[in-house]
Chain A
């Protein structure tokens, strides 16, 4: 087990370094960052001065090394737009994104798991078909459009919920639904498949044969085993969702890290964009690492592969 964790950790760190290099290279895709920073009216001397000030005249690998070591200490440089340290900017806004992510995954689990269980108990029944339809339709629903529909229905027509902002918990209801439904189809399918497999196993037949009540068989024996892979899927989905929150935050004007990313991209604020790509990637790496360790802990067969 210890060896597995060590190996997996090594992989995670290697992936993190590679991603950091890719997100740093984005700066060089932009051509001349100094010219972009100085604006169209700047003279050649101004650009040259900026280039020297920000250190763009050094070799790429030196700049990368410099950036990486600062980043490891939590220093992501200064935002071109806000003229403030990027780390502080992002940290202030991360709480909104994290709240949204946790609410979103909770919503997905609370809807998808019961639906998956119900579908597995009665395969090919009406509820199974409804669940299948929801998962197929859910995958095809563009999240920005779904968000706008919710705003039209619940904010404009019914006036039940506020359309944008973060002032109260009501502001988080629609964003949670839009972000959460994205993870629903996969969780539901996995719950259903897991339950179907477990329900046909010998120990379920034994439990039934010894006369255990059906509810007890379902929840104590079956669901407990079927839910294991769902937990790690949820962790992976959570990593994806934080990266996908950019769309949801922009629709509902939630000023979280995703919204900051959208604004910063529009403003060519590269230090902020680089830092955000790296941070979102780190979330994904940490969540998948935790999911794998959890899996290996719960199911020793996973450790060998």
Chain B
């Protein structure tokens, strides 16, 4: 290192490349590593659910109801016990990862598309477009999300498609707010003015000049909104107006276990803990990605 300090020319040669620096930042970030590992593991569990689950998550058994988990004196036949219908709890948890991740991912994509288009247009065009988008954001923020989602799901019926559509149409506000602000910043840069000067079309400027420079912020909001959507789905299913039985949703499992909570608290503890770990993992990953990809936005 001391050679590099004294000779500026040499410093340029031996200094780390941007790629190396990025890799160092990624592997030096504890939160990102922990969060990323948790999310990656749960994604693998969701993908390979049929291979991993020891039993059919829907198979009921009247003789094997409410068996305790192994650590509370149960057997390895049902490592995490069985629920009130004798369904294997571990298998239901494993399949529940599919429901949560699917809802989180698709909701984030839908709301991300809506919010990004609104935010980028508002930030780039300003003026009336901006006024309309800002107004729509205000309207959306004033709507009580849980209440509206519950009401719409109750009217249209609680299927996965309805849940995802409702959440996707409700959770675009943060995308619009964040991308509007970052587009406004990027719009003032010289390279945007340069692109305008050489006569680049507006879509080209938006896609080739603006987008690459705000994609960091977009990724961070995607993770935050995934976590948000997963928590909301669980809460709605817990209230009985989300994903309907017998689908294995973690929120629904907590709700089903609630009545037996007095004697069998693990029925509530286990699915809630898994939900907590997944959302924590996603949030840690999101915070980490922000630190690594957009260090200037660190709070």
A interface residues with partner B (beta carbon < 8 Å): 11, 14-16, 18-19, 22-23, 26, 29-30, 136-137, 139-145, 148-149, 151-152, 156, 189, 193, 242-244, 246-247, 250, 261-262, 265-266, 268, 273, 276-277, 280-281, 284-285, 288
Contacts and interface: CB of A to CB of B under 8 A. Distances in A.
7 contacts: A16-B142, A23-B148, A136-B287, A140-B227, A246-B144, A273-B147, A273-B151
Contacts of A244: 144, 146
Classify the interface of chain B: helix, strand, loop or mixed.
helix
A145 B272 contact: yes
A142 B155 contact: no
A15 B135 contact: yes
B46 interface: no
Contact of A136 (B146, B262, B283): B283
Contact of A268 (B150, B154, B235, B251): B154
Q: How large is the interface on B (under 10, 10 to 19, 20 to 34, 35 or more residues)?
A: 35 or more
Contact of A243 (B145, B231, B239, B283): B145
Closest 3 CB pairs of A and B: A243-B144, A145-B272, A140-B280
B142 A144 contact: no
Contacts of A151: 261
Given A29-B155, A142-B279, A148-B268, A247 B135 contact: no
Contact of B152 (A29, A142, A285): A29
B239 A152 contact: no
Interface in B130-154: 135, 138-139, 141-148, 150-152, 154
Interface of B: 31, 135, 138-139, 141-148, 150-152, 154-156, 227, 231, 234-235, 238-241, 251, 254, 258, 261-262, 265, 268-269, 272, 275-276, 279-280, 282-284, 287, 299
A300 B279 CA distance: 39
Contacts of A22: 139, 143
Nearest to A30: B155
